[in-house]
Amino acid sequence: MTAIPVDQPLAREHGEARPQVSHGLADWLTTTDHKQIGLLYIGTSLVFFLLGGLAALALRLELAQPGMEFVTPEVYDQLFTMHGTIMMFLFGTPIALGLANYLLPLQIGAADMAFPRLNALSYWLFLFGGLVVVGGTFIVGGPADAGWTIYAPLSGPDYSPGPAMDMWIVGIGLTGISSILGAVNFIATLFTRRAPGMTMLRVPIFTWGVLVTAVLILFSFPVLTAALALLYIDRHLGGSFFEAASGGSPVLFQHLFWFFGHPEVYILILPFFGIISEIVPVFSRKPLFGYRAMILSLVLIALYSFTVWAHHMFTTGAVDLPFFSFVSLLIAVPTGIKFFNWIATMWRGQLTFPTPMLWCLGMMYFFLIGGITGVIVASPPLDFQFQDTYFVVAHLHNVLVGGTVLAAFAAIYFWFPKATGRLLSERLGKIHFWTFLVGITVTFLPQYQLGADGMPRRYADYPPNPGWADLNMISTVGSWIMAFSILVFLVNVVLTLRRPATAPDDPWEANSLEWATSSPPPDHNFRSLPKVRSERPVFDMRMSANQERSDA
């Protein structure tokens, strides 16, 4: 059995022209095409990623040494609030939704989303919501400064008067509604637009990840919207939901926020688990090991995610510690299933290491540390020390950068040829990968020690305790290595886009349906669809093409 040459187009007849997919500005502004909307989402979220990254560089610069050197404490608070808000709501969530937008219809053999205009509305709500939040920067007094968790009563009328907090509430509320509409659309599309033969147990694992994520969004974002509405009532209509003096409860705000907030962090990781599960089999030349177990573990993580919110509140003295500790620890089990199945997929495979695979491996190595430290902080007595310190900062960056961001780069390198007809430079890609890996290691690992020593997060300044200045300086140096790495990535994207589109339709010998059409796909995605008989229709297609050739 031999594989067919990779440059043999599967979707186009030999010599047929690549479909024309250039778009003018008017087209981008009015499009309802899921691929264009997906690219808008991804592009916009990457711009926000750069903004959030710049804020992080400024934070790290201030923290490099004790004392206030570059910014005032007020500006420092605004910077970390904007950094967290942007990265969670304006980068992490929308890049996941963008990838889902681009890939889900293609992976199930659909021409578009079920509700294309609703899809466009989702994007524009997200964009303008984001602009309202970030727009706080341009008003007198600057943007919101109560942290991305906007705990009441700090975010209430007494301690955050002024319009910045209102802009945060309204802007994030808009992005939340955008996510809810998107989730409805993904679910409807998946349930109604699958190609003939594509049963639910043949749906690619990334799309399964999107489905589970969409359900998480449907159940969690409305709770955030409610919390924001109550906070707004407290601020402007004389409410006292979160005002202790009038019988309200600040703890209630935390319950509402984290009932959204913990599923939110799984919204930021489950699609990316799906990406790893999609890419590792391709570069191992094997099917995904334990496809059904992978689906089950996605579902279990999603279910558990609604039962663990109070592990963010162990030090409030207001929650049941053993229960929330046990269910939080339990999440390690389905996450472990994912890791072991990835390893089993590679086991006895034929591994190659182009950039998408490197990012996947980097994610496995790095996310594991974040997973383990997540188990540590799920134990309340240990959390009593680590809560609200740099240990937690290191942990959450370990999972969000080491997980979400690394997997997002894996996805970008993997699907870039599908979306543009061009392969990103492997040489620059490898520089990008290795410098980024060094950057996150140098930036975040010292923060574990800082947190263990008791350095609280959200400190504009810190005392010159032994070792703190050195560890902070190392961390700051790491942040600049990351910045350099991102610069390499931008150069790679710009240079690649200036080259002619010569990538084959299926450069990686991949498995799922998006590789059965041209790169980039034509309007409405497919000229014809291959038969779907397994969860690897394009693999089957390649095999039967081989078979026919050897029979002839």
Partner 1 sequence: MTRRCFACQVAILGALGALASGCIPQAATTQGQSINSLYTVALAMSAVVAALVWGLITWSVIRYRRGKRASDELPPQTSGSQVLEIIWTAGPLIAIVILFTATLLTLNVVNAAPQQGAVQLNVEAFRWGWRMTYPNDGVSVEGVLAPGPQAVLPVGREVQINLTSADVIHSFFVPQFLYKKDAIPGHPNSFTITIAEPGTYAGQCAEFCGVFHSQMPFTIRAVSDTDYRAWLSSERAAGSTPGATP
Closest CA to 121 of 201, 202, 185, 214: 185
Please list every residue from 417 through 446 that binds partner 1, using CB under 8 A: 441, 445
The nearest distance, CB 168 to partner 1, in angstroms, is 15
C-alpha 5/C-alpha 3 separation (Å) is 6
Closest CA to 256 of 192, 321, 313, 205: 313
Tell which one of 6, 200, 226, 333 touches partner 1 (CB under 8 A). Answer: 333
| Closer residue to partner 1 (CB): 131 or 376 | 376
Q: Which residues contact 459 (CB under 8 A, 6 or more apart)?
A: none
Residue 325 as a binder of partner 1 (CB under 8 A): the answer is yes
Residue 153 as a binder of partner 1 (CB under 8 A): the answer is yes
Q: Which of 41, 76, 208, 266 is catalytic?
A: 266
C-alpha 129/C-alpha 167 separation (Å) is 9
Residue 147 as a binder of partner 1 (CB under 8 A): the answer is yes
For the chain, the C-alpha Rg in angstroms (whole number) is 23
Q: Catalytic: 524?
A: no
Residue 515 as a binder of partner 1 (CB under 8 A): the answer is no
| Closer residue to partner 1 (CB): 103 or 146 | 146
Q: Which of 112, 278, 383, 514 is catalytic?
A: 112
**Does the bond joining 153 to the residue before it have cis omega, within 30 degrees of 0?**
yes
Q: Which of 166, 234, 264, 505 is catalytic?
A: 264
By the 10 Å C-beta count (0-12 exposed, 13-18 middle, 19+ buried), 278 is classed as buried
The nearest distance, CB 5 to partner 1, in angstroms, is 10
Q: Catalytic: 518?
A: no
Q: Catalytic: 179?
A: yes
The nearest distance, CB 371 to partner 1, in angstroms, is 9
Interacting stretch for partner 1, rule CB under 8 A, among 183-191, 201-209, 216-224, 463-471?
A: 463-471
Residue 507 as a binder of partner 1 (CB under 8 A): the answer is no
Q: How far is CA 496 from CA 10, 313, 411, 417, 502, in A?
A: 23, 47, 16, 10, 11
Residue 139 as a binder of partner 1 (CB under 8 A): the answer is no
Which amino acid is present at 197? G
| Closer residue to partner 1 (CB): 388 or 426 | 388
Tell which one of 67, 161, 336, 464 touches partner 1 (CB under 8 A). Answer: 336
The nearest distance, CB 325 to partner 1, in angstroms, is 6
Closest CA to 42 of 98, 118, 4, 92: 98
| Closer residue to partner 1 (CB): 27 or 74 | 74
| Closer residue to partner 1 (CB): 118 or 469 | 469
**Does the bond joining 520 to the residue before it have cis omega, within 30 degrees of 0?**
yes
Q: Which of 12, 60, 202, 262 is catalytic?
A: 262
In the structure encoding, which two tokens stand for residue 309, read together?
């919110």
Q: Catalytic: 311?
A: yes
Residue 454 as a binder of partner 1 (CB under 8 A): the answer is yes
Interface size with partner 1, residues (CB under 8 A): 94
Tell which one of 126, 208, 241, 291 touches partner 1 (CB under 8 A). Answer: 291
Exposure on the CB side of residue 280, measured as CA atoms within 13 A: 30
| Closer residue to partner 1 (CB): 115 or 340 | 340
Q: Which residue has the tokens 């993904």?
A: 186
C-alpha 552/C-alpha 545 separation (Å) is 11
Tell which one of 229, 332, 469, 483 touches partner 1 (CB under 8 A). Answer: 332
| Closer residue to partner 1 (CB): 401 or 529 | 401
**For residues 8-35, b (16+ Cβ closer than 10 Å) or e, as one string?**
ebbbbeeeeebbebeeeeeeeeebbbbb
Residue 6 as a binder of partner 1 (CB under 8 A): the answer is no
| Closer residue to partner 1 (CB): 146 or 419 | 146
Tell which one of 249, 473, 474, 491 touches partner 1 (CB under 8 A). Answer: 249
Q: Which residue has the tokens 């947190």?
A: 451
Tell which one of 151, 232, 306, 434 touches partner 1 (CB under 8 A). Answer: 151
Q: Which residues contact 423 (CB under 8 A, 6 or more apart)?
A: 416, 417, 496, 503, 507
Residue 461 as a binder of partner 1 (CB under 8 A): the answer is yes
Continuous H helices in 268-305: 270-284, 291-305
Phi and psi (nearest 5°) for 456? -70, 155
Tell which one of 348, 528, 550, 551 touches partner 1 (CB under 8 A). Answer: 348
Stretch 58-87: interaction string toward partner 1, x if CB under 8 A? ---------------xx--x----------
**Contact yes or no for 406/359 (Cβ under 8 A):** yes
Please list every residue from 350 through 389 that binds partner 1, using CB under 8 A: 350-353, 361, 364-365, 368-369, 372-373, 375-376, 379-382, 384-385, 387-389
Phi and psi (nearest 5°) for 389? -115, 180
Residue 284 as a binder of partner 1 (CB under 8 A): the answer is yes
CA 515 to chain CA centroid, nearest Å: 23
C-alpha 21/C-alpha 31 separation (Å) is 13
Residue 199 as a binder of partner 1 (CB under 8 A): the answer is no
Residue 307 as a binder of partner 1 (CB under 8 A): the answer is no
Q: Catalytic: 266?
A: yes
Q: Catalytic: 83?
A: yes
**Does the bond joining 530 to the residue before it have cis omega, within 30 degrees of 0?**
no
**Contact yes or no for 45/127 (Cβ under 8 A):** no
Q: Which of 81, 178, 297, 475 is catalytic?
A: 178
Query: Among all residues, which ones are annotated catalytic?
Result: 83, 112, 148, 178-179, 262, 264, 266, 277, 311-312, 335, 338, 457
